[in-house]
Amino acid sequence: MLAVDDRVVMVSGANRGIGRAMAVGLLAKGYLLSLGARQPEALADIARDGMEDRVLAVAYDALDAASAGAWVDATLARFGRIDALINNAGALRHATVEDGSDEDLEHLWRVNAMGPLRLTRAALPHLKRCGSGRIVNVVSLAGKRVRGDNAGYSMSKFAALALTHGTRRAGWQDGVRVTALCPAWVATDMASHAEVPPEAMIQPEDLGELVATVLALPNNASIAELLVNCRFEDTL
């Protein structure tokens, strides 16, 4: 396992849900954090009890193409390195094959596919430089199969899965390892419409533990896809 040794981790969408749980868990394990959110002031309570110097909160909006590079630059200015990137920020809108606006489809594409791509492009040279860079893309089981009628959301997550495998190829020789984290229903506000009760869903803190394990694995123990379910499915 890799030692933490003040490794610097960028986490997008860290102000709530899965991203927040990951940030809290990684901070407790000794990582330095650069947290991106549209409202960075919502991250203030993560850096407390003497941990202020270990956390950087930066404004990041997946819809703003320039904010990816600006966040990477701010991270380097504060910590001088980047060891891992967690592409967690995502959007959920409903668009079926037969119904759904172009606006909703474009929003899903820009946030769930283009957002992670831009951050990856900005951070990848620095992840290559450290020799053991890590990227975790929070994809969803919707990027592995289409279970309901929300084909638009699945299309954007299938693209995020393709980005994962493309980035694995691009960074492999330089020690960058990339994992697609594909959970089913997670007990966050984005799952408020689910047919599964919150207590039966995956808990965000458990995903945080899985991500911490992926970040710590050595280069010769790479996990390409990590599928996490809260119920039985024949093919998953």
Is 3 among the domain residues?
A: no
Nearest to 86 by CA among 217, 212, 183, 194: 212
- Report the predicted TM-score, pTM, of the whole model to 2 decimal places: 0.96
Is 130 among the domain residues?
A: yes
Interval 109-136: pLDDT, tens: 999 999 999 999 999 999 999 999 999 9
Whole-angstrom Cα distance, residue 219 to residue 17?
A: 29
Is 234 among the domain residues?
A: no
Residue 60 corresponds to which tokens in the numbers above?
């990041």
CB atoms within 10 A of CB 230: 17
| Length of the chain, in residues | 236
Backbone angles phi and psi of 213, in degrees to 5: -65, -45
Q: Which CATH number covers residue 222?
A: 3.40.50.720
Strand partners, 33: 9, 55
Question: Residue 25 pLDDT more than 80?
Answer: yes
Average predicted confidence (pLDDT) for the chain: 95
Is 211 among the domain residues?
A: yes
pLDDT band, residue 234 (cuts 50/70/90): confident
What is the extent of the structural domain holding 113? 8-228
Question: Residue 8 pLDDT more than 80?
Answer: yes
Is 224 among the domain residues?
A: yes
Is 194 among the domain residues?
A: yes
Residue with tokens 């030692």: 3
Cβ contacts of residue 40 below 8 Å, gap of 6+?
A: 15, 57, 58, 59, 60
* pLDDT the model gives residue 137: 98
Is 39 among the domain residues?
A: yes
Residues labelled as active-site residues: 153
* pLDDT the model gives residue 218: 98
What separation, in Å, do the N-terminal and C-terminal C-alpha atoms of the chain show? 28
CB atoms within 10 A of CB 115: 27
* pLDDT above 70: percentage of residues in the chain: 99
Is 121 among the domain residues?
A: yes
Q: How many domains does the chain have?
A: 1
Backbone angles phi and psi of 108, in degrees to 5: -60, -45
Question: Residue 236 pLDDT more than 70?
Answer: no
Question: Residue 190 pLDDT more than 90?
Answer: no
